[in-house]
Copies of this chain bind each other. A is one copy, B any other.
Amino acid sequence: MRLSRLMGLMERDGIDAYIISQKSSIYYYVESTGGAFLLVNPDEPLLLTPKVDYTISLEQAKGCKVFPYTRDRVLEIIERELEKVNPKVVGFDDLPIEIYVGLKERFKEIEFRHTSGIIWEMRKIKDHREEELMRRAGELASIGMGAILENLREGVREFELAAEAAHSMMMGGAEGLAFPISIASGPRSAYPHAGVTDREIRRGDLVTVDLGATYKGYKSDITRTFIVGRATREQAEIYEAVLQAKEAAMKEIREGARGRDLDRIARDIISDRGYAEYFVHSLGHGVGLDIHEPPTLSETSEDALTRGNVVTCEPGIYIPGRGGVRIEDTVLLGGGGAERLTRFAERMGEICV
């Protein structure tokens, strides 16, 4: 059904054939984890899969034929399939450069259009089943954050906290991590993307924890910042600015809200407190089978939210050499309005030491 809707959108946009190579989009359209290229045309969609994944692709794939390829023959096979369809316009979401160049040379008369527009037009609107899976992914992320809070104390190391969070999410049914867990403690909290090190947590540290679960392919994303001991005046001030920016933006998540306007609401609050230069990223991004997908909440985004969108809301302040705070939730814009999928309390913590 998704494939036939895609074909309808292809017709609307004058795309005669489509080469899909993003794993998550292949999974979305034919439910296979094994394929490498999904060739969509009105006659018969074809999933090209490396030989090693032929068995799993054959068993999983719905609505398409499955064909195993060896790497040295993939260009030739795609060419052969395109010849059958004789298209004027071929869309593709992404391609290895050699294959792109090879196709351009072989088919000089075809327009190759690099676009994922119609794919995202579909994927960014979650259906009922997807909403259920994303709710569970969100719950698992909250469970992971709970494990962090339980284990956070002076002397514990960043990687030990990550271990406990991973364990609790996966024991809860996550098949994996949505992305590598980030535990940014002390001065490292000034890094938005910090990873995990063997640093020991110390009294007075800000600890920014960013994690998410994957549940049946769907991802979640949550960030909380804790303080170990009592917050200094600056730490408390930054925390309050970020929290208020987040709450103000969250309130405006509704149908029709534009990405740039939501970003502006959060950015204005942070600017008013004097931290404009330290909010060094966008307010949020879509989440689904990918951890970063449309729609985007950023200073330049013209995306307008619609029902079924799932986005993060995650303002942050990062002061080099001193530390930082980010607070993030994953939010579903459902039938009843904005629904927080990651519901861990937004308390700074003041962890006892």
Cα distance A162–B191 in the bound complex, in angstroms: 29
Cα distance A181–B176 in the bound complex, in angstroms: 8
Cα distance A175–B177 in the bound complex, in angstroms: 13
When the two chains form their complex, are residues B280 and A193 in contact, meaning their CB atoms are under 8 A apart? no
A2 interfacial contact with B, CB 8 Å: no
Across the A-B interface, the 3 shortest Cβ-Cβ residue pairs: A163-B170, A167-B167, A52-B281
Cα distance A214–B196 in the bound complex, in angstroms: 11
A53 interfacial contact with B, CB 8 Å: yes
Closest to A100 in B: B97
Given contacts A53-B191, A56-B194, 20 further A-B contacts (CB under 8 A): A33-B193, A34-B191, A55-B280, A55-B318, A56-B193, A94-B97, A159-B174, A160-B170, A162-B176, A163-B166, A163-B167, A163-B170, A166-B166, A166-B170, A175-B180, A175-B195, A175-B197, A176-B180, A177-B180, A180-B214
State how many angstroms separate the Cβ of A139 from the closest Cβ of chain B.
Answer: 15
Contact of A97 (CB < 8 Å), options: B52, B114, B191: B114
State how many angstroms separate the Cβ of A83 from the closest Cβ of chain B.
Answer: 23
A352 interfacial contact with B, CB 8 Å: no
When the two chains form their complex, are residues B173 and A198 in contact, meaning their CB atoms are under 8 A apart? yes
A164 interfacial contact with B, CB 8 Å: yes
When the two chains form their complex, are residues B95 and A97 in contact, meaning their CB atoms are under 8 A apart? yes
Q: What is the predominant secondary structure among interface residues of chain A facing chain B?
A: mixed
Closest to A179 in B: B176
Cα distance A193–B33 in the bound complex, in angstroms: 9
When the two chains form their complex, are residues A280 and B318 in contact, meaning their CB atoms are under 8 A apart? no
A275 interfacial contact with B, CB 8 Å: no
Most B Cβ at <10 Å: residue of A169, A181, A191: A191
Cα distance A300–B34 in the bound complex, in angstroms: 23
When the two chains form their complex, are residues A54 and B175 in contact, meaning their CB atoms are under 8 A apart? no
Contact of A191 (CB < 8 Å), options: B56, B94, B159: B56
Question: What is the 8 Å Cβ interface bit string for chain A, positions 143-178, against chain B (1 contact, 0 not)?
Answer: 000000000000000011011101101110111110
Contact of A55 (CB < 8 Å), options: B33, B97, B180, B320: B320
Can you identify 27 A-B contacts, CB atoms within 8 angstroms? A33-B195, A34-B191, A34-B193, A51-B280, A51-B281, A52-B280, A52-B281, A53-B192, A53-B193, A54-B280, A55-B191, A55-B280, A97-B100, A160-B170, A160-B171, A162-B170, A162-B175, A162-B176, A163-B166, A163-B169, A163-B171, A167-B167, A175-B180, A175-B195, A175-B196, A176-B181, A176-B195
A227 interfacial contact with B, CB 8 Å: no
Cα distance A114–B198 in the bound complex, in angstroms: 37
A190 interfacial contact with B, CB 8 Å: yes
Cα distance A162–B180 in the bound complex, in angstroms: 15
Contacts of A198 in B (CB 8 A): 173
Contacts of A160 in B (CB 8 A): 170-171
Cα distance A12–B214 in the bound complex, in angstroms: 46
Closest to A96 in B: B94
Cα distance A162–B52 in the bound complex, in angstroms: 22
Cα distance A191–B281 in the bound complex, in angstroms: 40
